[in-house]
Amino acid sequence: MATVLRPALAGPAAVLCLTVLLATACSSPDADPSGSGTGSEEDTGAEVRITPEDGAGDVSPDSPVEVRADGGTITDVTVAVDGQEPTGANEMTGALNDDETAWTSDWTLTPGSEVTVTATTEDAEGETAEAVSVFTTREAVEGQRLELESNFPTSGETVGVGMPVIVNFDLPVENKAAVESAMEVVSDKPAQGAWNWFGDQMAVFRPEEYWEPDQKITVNMRLAGVQAADGVFGIENHQLNFDVGRSQITTIDSDTKRMVVERDGEEIQDFPTSLGRATTRAYTTTSGVHLTMEKYDQLVMDSATVGIPEDDPEYYKLDVEYAVRFSNSGEFTHAAPWNDQLGEANLSHGCPNLATADAKWFYENSYMGDPLVVTGTDRQLEVDNGWGYWQRSWDEWVEQSATGEPDATDEPGTPGSPQGDGE
């Protein structure tokens, strides 16, 4: 993993180390010609120690890589896996201390791999030399290999300004802070965000405020080697790239029975609508900050899917057009040509009804992750109903994060460390 050197606030203390003398043309004749001993005081070469040591085996994948140089400075460190120097989410970055004599890796190591660490140093005379440590990491055990099951959005998608990053894992995660710290969110424009967990297998990242429009977001999921639970290690890194498009925010008011669409701060549509009749909780449209989730040009709406079975007098089954989902409790905007009281009365089973032309426009002009705000009803959207994540205040969102700290997405790294104690 090719390394980017960056400064740290403080250098780490070296632990069990390999000592290598980097001999130069000015080295003392008393120096060990094998390059494996400690030089005398007259040596001008740098003494380098690398952890894990050369020849080590069964190294825990969540061990940090550390390099220390005495009598010189570190100018480069590369960490290659199985002979390759990966890039992207596989790239191994690291931090230098202020005097550039100590370097510590940021991320964990791929299980079951041969790792080659090459450190380049420069002494006071300007002479450069290299030290190398080659070691192998412990394999992840069958049945204890954390893998990515799905993520939203997916690479290549253009999304709305409210879109979170949703990551689903195939196994429960106990060490949530370590896994959070392994997932680096990078935005073109300044923002801060944090992860929250919904159960033990789903992590969700959202910024403090909506994303600024028209920018690229990269998520480096450096999961390989992270110890998600006792003996459970991530086995593969992933990179997610998506675009945030224009800002489009829709407001639906139950009192006025209007649906207003603003794009980049300007009102562009004002549609009459009809919300839930509110005779029961199920027929009450949820108020709060929703996100558009998915859309269908044609959809069968069956009340049995939301707990109203066929033998119930309230049962319904409808074929609708231009449906845009905004919760998991059966709420969609959709065409309702049978409803002749749009803008006048709330008569639906909970979905905002629209004229066919209006529903088609909204269907064609919606991105996944566009905010849709409903006001005026007495049923509040739950934070875990669909993508109701904006229902949680920012202070509570940060507090619910396993690291308890926000992440500046325009800066490298994450608030915590994915590394363990290496045991």
| β-bridge partners, 301 | 318
How long a stretch of residues is the chain? Answer: 423
Strands 114-123, 102-105: pairing is unpaired
Residue type, 195: W
For tokens 């890589």, name the residue: 65
**Among candidates 166, 148, 171, which has minimal Cα distance to 294?**
166
Annotated catalytic residue 334:
yes
**Among candidates 196, 193, 192, which has minimal Cα distance to 177?**
196
Distance (Å, rounded) from C-alpha 109 to C-alpha 93? 12
> Which of 238, 290, 349, 351 is labelled catalytic?
351
Q: Which runs of consecutive H residues, i.e. helices, occur in 298-367?
A: 356-364
Annotated catalytic residue 26:
no
Instruction: Give CA angle at 153 (401, 381), nearest 5°.
Output: 60
Distance (Å, rounded) from C-alpha 154 to C-alpha 11? 37
| β-bridge partners, 146 | 234
> Which of 238, 290, 334, 349 is labelled catalytic?
334
| Rg of the Cα atoms in the chain | 28
Q: Do residues 323 and 299 touch, judged by C-beta distance below 8 A?
A: yes
| β-bridge partners, 143 | none
| β-bridge partners, 421 | none
CA distances to 121, 138, 182, 231 from 234, rounded to whole Å, are 32, 12, 10, 10
Q: Which residues are identified as catalytic?
A: 334, 351
